[in-house]
Amino acid sequence: MRQTREEFRAFREELQDIRNPVSKCDARLDKLENTVQTILESQEQYGSQGFKIEILKLESTVNQLQADLNDRDQELLANDIELSDIPEESGENPTHLVLSVVTKLGVHLEEKELVHCMRTL
């Protein structure tokens, strides 16, 4: 009788050891089923036509943003100045040269407002 009880106790422990991993697998399966259900619901909501509409909206947004960038680039180019036919002297500073020319033209410009000055070859 004692041996039978010991065997049942060992059997229960083994059964409990099996139940824990099965419970974890069951929880993972439930989570997977929920994920699949969510995906199926979103697919039903949009359908293939809905995805096409969403893609068209996104393409339209991208095109609008590209147009906005092009407009800004054009606005920035409007601020560029090109000075030509100014004789080159050795040791000159292009920034100082630009500031001298704009001052003679009556335009107030500070050195910190210049982004880039250079001589072209």
Q: How far is CA 4 from the centre of its chain?
A: 67
Q: How far is CA 99 from CA 14, 73, 113, 117, in A?
A: 90, 25, 10, 10
Q: Which of 110, 93, 112, 90 has its CA nearest to residue 102?
A: 110
Tens-place pLDDT, residues 104-120: 989 888 888 888 888 87
Check pLDDT > 80 for residue 100: yes
Q: Which of 120, 4, 119, 97 has its CA nearest to residue 111?
A: 97
Tens-place pLDDT, residues 68-90: 999 998 887 777 778 888 888 88
Parse the chain into domains and list their residue ranges.
Answer: 83-121
